[in-house]
Structure 1
Amino acid sequence: VGDLMRAEIAAGTRLGSELRAHAEAGTLAPNDVITSLLRPHLLQAARRSTSTYLVLDGYPRNKAQAQQLELLLVEALGRPNAAPTGTNVDLVLELQLRTDLLLRKAAGRQVCTGCGRGYNTVHIEESLRGIHMPAILPSQPGVCDQCGGTLASRVDDHPDIVARRLIDYHRVAGSILDWYRPKGVVRQLGVEASTDVCGPRIIEAVCRALCLPSP
């Protein structure tokens, strides 16, 4: 969803202008704005996908959005209004990371302005705690390995903005997890490791929760 928001901002639309204001202020956009942004993309993805599942990253962020998502899933996937679990969502994966580590990694994040590939300049090593989060560096500083584009930091990755967003997140995350948890679809996974380690962990957790064969 974050990528959709940044694309809308780059396009300079009216919706993009509103999203930009929230991004620069470090505040969360209103529920109806996010749902309006997501709806056409979710419907399009459902029509074009050959898979039984859709993956949403960064949405829903609160109980109201979760309830709006249920209506979108009925429309997009043709699912019934009431699944046996009480939700049309099959899995809610909560990725857990210590706040201080998150702030440090967010401050080091760089994104290619051309292709969107991500990098990170911060290396974190806490061997006694088993934490290994290496930097993800380009071969040439400031230049994307994939397309040769320029690397830049995102406005919403500034430490002050990330800190404010974390406050908002913790304020609303409890309500959405409390809403999904009785439905039996919440799983938690620590991500205090490298992407090479966390990627397979996430895939394994998803496959196990959905009773799918491991790749």
Structure 2
Amino acid sequence: MRIVLMGPPGAGKGTQARRLSESTGMKHLSTGDMLRAEVASGSELGLLAKGFMDRGDLVPDSHIIAMIQQHIDHPAGILLDGFPRTVVQAKALDEALEQTNTPVDQVIHMSVDIDELVKRLSNRALCGDCQTPYNLESDPPSQPGICDNCGGSVAVRVDDRPEAVTHRMKVYQDLTAPVLDYYKSHGDVVEIVATGSPDEVFEKLSQTIKSGMPGVNAN
């Protein structure tokens, strides 16, 4: 079972993907989390990726594809979050999955109003050590700047700062939105309006997975 979860920055893909992974047993693959881990480790890929990420640009396709291909084989299925982001990546994913006869089963697009996205992004923060996400307005750490989970430093991501947000939205429209057209040409893309509480959005996604993938128990 292979699910692609799509949506603009701030749509809540990561939060919902983690919950769906827990409820279905599917492996959550987040290219954003993987890249931030590479940056934190100081690896060759991390050093390359940091400059692109700080500007709000996409990391080159070849590096993302090589990274994700190492993780796509999982017996319980995979839930892709943040990949594919370009048509080149989508085609590469299809080619990789064809080798094991496990094509993409479902593409879910989480849509959110642009004003809501900007508000969400400006309040989003992350622990630099354990990657625990926070919302500075609705779910801040107990002590400002300190992670409740590990005591690490919590800060707004560089690519969530106002100067980068507008650029990220343009990058999404220019490069990632065409991926929706690619998948629509191969089959239906399920549209989910990702507004409301996190629990309400999770329920919408769970029902979508249940209806589209018999045998998967998302609850």
Common fold, TM-score beyond 0.5? yes
Q: Paired residue for 1:165, among 163, 168, 171?
A: 168
Q: Paired residue for 1:19, among 30, 44, 49?
A: 49
Report if the CA contact (8 A) 2:128-2:152 is conserved: yes
Supply the distance in 2 between the matched residues of 1:183 and 1:106 (Cα, whole angstroms): 32
Structure 1 residues without counterparts, runs of 5 or longer: 81-87, 123-134
- What's the secondary structure of 2:125's corresponding residue? strand
Supply the distance in 2 between the matched residues of 1:113 and 1:174 (Cα, whole angstroms): 29
Q: Which of the pair has more CA radius of gyration?
A: 1
- 1:162 is displaced (CA, Å) by 1.8
Cα 1:174/1:105, change in 2 over 3 Å: closer
- 1:109 is displaced (CA, Å) by 0.8
Q: Which has the higher contact order (CA 8 A, sep 6+)?
A: 2
Q: Paired residue for 1:79, among 74, 95, 101?
A: 101
Report if the CA contact (8 A) 1:204-1:214 is conserved: yes
How many residue pairs get aligned? The number is 188
Q: TM-score by structure 2 length?
A: 0.79
Tell me the residue number matched to 1:130.
Answer: none
One-letter amino acid matched to 2:86: N
Q: Paired residue for 1:138, among 134, 141, 153?
A: 141
Report if the CA contact (8 A) 1:10-1:16 is conserved: yes
**CA deviation digits over 1:6-38, x for unaligned, max 9?**
111111122111110101122111211211221
What does 1:68-147 correspond to in 2, within 5 Å? 68-75=92-99, 78-79=100-101, 88-122=103-137, 135-147=138-150
Supply the distance in 2 between the matched residues of 1:136 and 1:205 (Cα, whole angstroms): 27
Tell me the residue number matched to 1:40.
Answer: 70
Structure 2 residues without counterparts, runs of 5 or longer: 1-30
Tell me the residue number matched to 1:193.
Answer: 196
Q: TM-score by structure 1 length?
A: 0.80
Are 1:177 and 2:180 an aligned pair? yes
- 1:74 is displaced (CA, Å) by 3.0
- 1:193 is displaced (CA, Å) by 1.7
Supply the distance in 1 between the matched residues of 2:183 and 2:174 (Cα, whole angstroms): 16
Report if the CA contact (8 A) 2:130-2:152 is conserved: yes
Q: State the identity %.
A: 31
Supply the distance in 2 between the matched residues of 1:206 and 1:161 (Cα, whole angstroms): 33
- 1:68 is displaced (CA, Å) by 0.3
- RMSD between aligned residues: 1.8
Report if the CA contact (8 A) 1:97-1:190 is conserved: yes
The more displaced of 190-199 and 143-152 is 143-152
